[in-house]
Amino acid sequence: MDKISRSFVRGGRLISSGSLNGIRAVLRTALAEARRQGVIHSNPARALRLPPGAQPRAVVWDEEREKAWQNTGVRPRVAVWDLHHVGRFLASVQNDAFFALWWLVALRGPRRGEIAGLRWEDVDLAGGEITIREQVVLVRGVEIVGPPKSAGGVRTLMLDRFSVELFSALWREQKRRFGWVDPNGRVFVHADGRSLRPDWVTRRFTKLVKDSGLPPVRFHDLRHGAAGVGSAAGMDLKQLQEDLGHSNPWTTIRTYACVFKQVATAAVQKAADLLLSHVNLKVTLAGAYQA
């Protein structure tokens, strides 16, 4: 059977491998929950195999790419922000009701479904940490709560002092608004107490990015910002893998290669500057290789 006949077609075009994997992930989560509830005896999606496909390579929005986008509207297929862009975005949404959400994703990198599923019982303000235990996915418009995406998805994320202050303020605001806070309730809710849906988070982020004037990225690409911040701050690969909820470090390297390359280039320059400051060179570069 050839590759085309083994693939899915929609609207006369092959569906990308990324979309197929996303569909499979949702299907597995839904069937896993059905199995836990006794509706079915086994999860048939566990054995589902998809044809391999090349994933688009992400690039970082640099000054040249940003100018080209502003002049023509043409953008790379997958482009992510650098640390400067992330900082500009956070500054632009500092008065948004969900600033704590955008800050948490940019700093610690939880997925949108994990954000939607986060409960107050999983937030330890005294210990300065949150635990990711479950995520919310949508199946035909219906919310289903299940385990995180990968085996490494259940994890504890440490919080800095500023993040603890943000969550403490959010707790006080919910208590003031609703009169009490349900520890089993969701952390991020609308003004009327309704839980956030993952698709709403994406739409809200897209609007905020457009309003900010920043080059467009997906909500998921804020995780690139978290990877870049962590890498620049000196986190090792194992720690980044665990914080991002990847089952193995190769996923982290493959997914965030463009971010690590940018950070590595800056680190090499710092290393070279340090070495040059301790070397008493007597020649200029122009005459270094002249006999």
| Stretch 126-151: mean pLDDT | 84
Considering the domain architecture, whether residues 28 and 129 belong to the same structural domain is answered as no
Here the CATH number for the domain that contains residue 101 is 1.10.443.10
283, part of any domain: no
- The residue ranking higher by pLDDT, 236 or 88, is 88
Considering the domain architecture, whether residues 98 and 68 belong to the same structural domain is answered as yes
Burial (0-12, 13-18, 19+ Cβ within 10 Å), 267: middle
3-state SS assignment for residue 124:
strand
> Of 39, 55, 71, at which residue does a domain stop?
55
135, part of any domain: yes
Torsion of CA 160, 166, 172, 178, to 10 degrees: -130
pLDDT surpassing 50 at residue 1: no
287, part of any domain: no
Query: Which residues, other chains included, contact 265 with Cβ-Cβ below 8 Å and sequence gap of 6+?
Result: none
Top-confidence range, 29-33, 146-150, 215-219, 250-254: 215-219
288, part of any domain: no
284, part of any domain: no
Q: Count Cα neighbours of 79 within 13 Å in the Cβ-side half-sphere.
A: 17
pLDDT of residue 237: 72
pLDDT, tens digit, for every residue of 183-205? 779 999 998 888 899 999 999 99
Confidence of residue 53 (pLDDT cuts 50, 70, 90): low
Q: Which of 157, 145, 154, 150 shows the shortest CA–CA distance to 109?
A: 157
pLDDT of residue 216: 93
285, part of any domain: no
CA separation for the pair 153, 156 (Å, rounded): 9
Residue 135: enclosing H or E segment and its boundaries? strand 135-139
Confidence of residue 264 (pLDDT cuts 50, 70, 90): low
- The residue ranking higher by pLDDT, 220 or 253, is 220
Which amino acid is residue 151, in one-letter code? A
pLDDT surpassing 90 at residue 256: no
pLDDT surpassing 50 at residue 3: no
pLDDT surpassing 90 at residue 4: no
Lookup: tokens for 215: 């080059």
Instruction: Give yes or no for a contact between 154 and 147, defined as CB atoms under 8 angstroms apart.
Output: yes
Considering the domain architecture, whether residues 77 and 215 belong to the same structural domain is answered as yes
Q: How far is CA 68 from CA 61, 63, 72, 185, 218, in A?
A: 10, 9, 6, 45, 19
Confidence of residue 2 (pLDDT cuts 50, 70, 90): very low
Lookup: tokens for 16: 């990308």
Considering the domain architecture, whether residues 197 and 222 belong to the same structural domain is answered as yes
Considering the domain architecture, whether residues 151 and 93 belong to the same structural domain is answered as yes
The count of domains in the chain is: 2
CA separation for the pair 40, 36 (Å, rounded): 8
> Of 55, 82, 101, at which residue does a domain stop?
55
Distance of CA 109 to the CA centre of its chain: 5
Considering the domain architecture, whether residues 13 and 95 belong to the same structural domain is answered as no
| Stretch 8-35: mean pLDDT | 71
Considering the domain architecture, whether residues 105 and 179 belong to the same structural domain is answered as yes
249, part of any domain: yes
pLDDT, tens digit, for every residue of 80-122? 888 888 889 999 999 999 999 999 999 888 989 999 999 999 9
192, part of any domain: yes
- The residue ranking higher by pLDDT, 117 or 269, is 117
Considering the domain architecture, whether residues 124 and 175 belong to the same structural domain is answered as yes
In sequence order, the β-bridge partners of residue 9 are: 14
Considering the domain architecture, whether residues 230 and 216 belong to the same structural domain is answered as yes
Least confident of 8-12, 79-83, 106-110, 240-244: 8-12
Considering the domain architecture, whether residues 171 and 35 belong to the same structural domain is answered as no
Top-confidence range, 186-195, 228-237, 253-262, 268-277: 186-195
Torsion of CA 153, 157, 163, 168, to 10 degrees: 90
Considering the domain architecture, whether residues 92 and 42 belong to the same structural domain is answered as no
Instruction: Give yes or no for a contact between 114 and 196, defined as CB atoms under 8 angstroms apart.
Output: no
CA separation for the pair 137, 147 (Å, rounded): 10
Considering the domain architecture, whether residues 156 and 248 belong to the same structural domain is answered as yes
CA separation for the pair 157, 239 (Å, rounded): 10
Angle made by CA atoms 170, 173, 178, in degrees to the nearest 5: 125
Confidence of residue 16 (pLDDT cuts 50, 70, 90): low
pLDDT of residue 238: 74
Looking at every residue in the chain, the average pLDDT score rounds to: 80
Confidence of residue 6 (pLDDT cuts 50, 70, 90): very low
Torsion of CA 218, 62, 211, 162, to 10 degrees: 80
Range of the domain at 162: 57-276
Q: What percentage of residues in the chain have a pLDDT greater than 90?
A: 31
